[in-house]
Amino acid sequence: MIRVLVVDDSAVVRAVLTEELSKAPDIEVVAAATDPYVARDKIVALRPDVLTLDIEMPRMDGLTFLGKLMRHQPMPVVVVSSVSPEGSEAAIRALELGAVDVVSKPGSAFTVGDICARLRDSIRTAAAARVRPRRDQADAEPGESFAPAIPGIVRTTHSVVAIGASTGGTTAIREVLSGLPRTTPGTIVVQHMPEHFTAAFARRLDEQCAMQVREARDGDAIVPGVALIAPGNRHMVVQRSGARYRIGLKDSPPVHYQRPSVDVLFHSAARHCGRNCLAVILTGMGSDGAAGMLALREAGARTIGQDENTCVVYGMPRAAAEAGAVEQVVPLPEISGRIISTLTDRASA
């Protein structure tokens, strides 16, 4: 049984979340708290397994509370946030501070069922996550981790770096991209994330990386020095246009319950890029990306999987490794360097 503490200043939201979460046979809402001070006392008294956290609260805002919690008593936290621009930016900051996942707050009675079903899944994932104390890197100022240009990486439209991630992936993607130079080949990224949050995620990465980072648009060219993030609720694929690779966005059904799906991206890269692709699979629950990465490796692409010890959830990389899709298993802090060395070796071959 997963014991959950709900933290939200709205009595209506607390009641709705408590009722909906309690419908799951494996989840028990042990208490609800109106603000972080009440939550602190209930955490000490009840020792919940997972916390759901609102960001906008009186007395102490959710981000301040989350920062303190992850420094002094790390535990799995799922943020339940509004989808306003301000809420999206705050949710991305919450993930940087150590939250496992972010779920949109119900906007109307019609959205309660779907959103609470996703919240139940997020709570189950969070309960299995490896949560570590907050790292100082989360507070790095833009530019501190910019990687220098590497002459060995050829600025070419013929190479593509494809990255897929889920739970814990926002932090992992930031660490990887911030370690890559602005001369890196065009990079395409799928992170399982709700609609409306991916644009804020891309803006935040753009502040922290040498490469330009933005949310992908249909028809975008995949070009050196630019990383494109798949928008929430759209599949992203690679398309060939003459000598160029371009982005296509699709509304086809979810794959592995996800849209965007890593498998959808990787399969398209296998078809159109083949050996010109370097694929990376990072932390996440489930098996999305394993079949697509195998197709890439069979097409001659180089492949990297994050190792178990540095994953928040060792699901997607494990599935890919067990399928024989992963050529190199690498700890997260070393993945940027491995991408650079692999691209350099291939360019000089």
Catalytic positions are 166, 192, 288
d(CA 322, CA 66): 35
Within 13 Å and on the Cβ side, how many CA atoms surround 228?
28
Could you tell me the two tokens for 333? 């802090």
Within 13 Å and on the Cβ side, how many CA atoms surround 314?
15
Could you tell me the two tokens for 275? 């050996």
d(CA 138, CA 149): 23
Return the DSSP state at 92. H
d(CA 235, CA 259): 5
The dihedral over CA atoms of 86, 90, 93, 98, expressed in degrees to the nearest 10, equals -160
Per the CB < 8 A criterion, the answer to whether 48 and 4 are in contact is: yes
Total number of residues shown for the chain: 349
Query: Phi first, then psi: what are they for 217, rounded to 5°?
Result: -120, 150
Secondary structure string (H, E, C) spanning 136-172: HHHHCCCCCCCCCCCCCCCCCCCCEEEEEECCCHHHH
Pairing of strands 226-229, 186-191: parallel
Q: To 5 degrees, how large is the angle CA 74–CA 76–CA 80?
A: 120
120, amino acid identity: R
| C-alpha distances out from residue 113 to 17, 20, 117, 323, Å | 10, 8, 6, 35
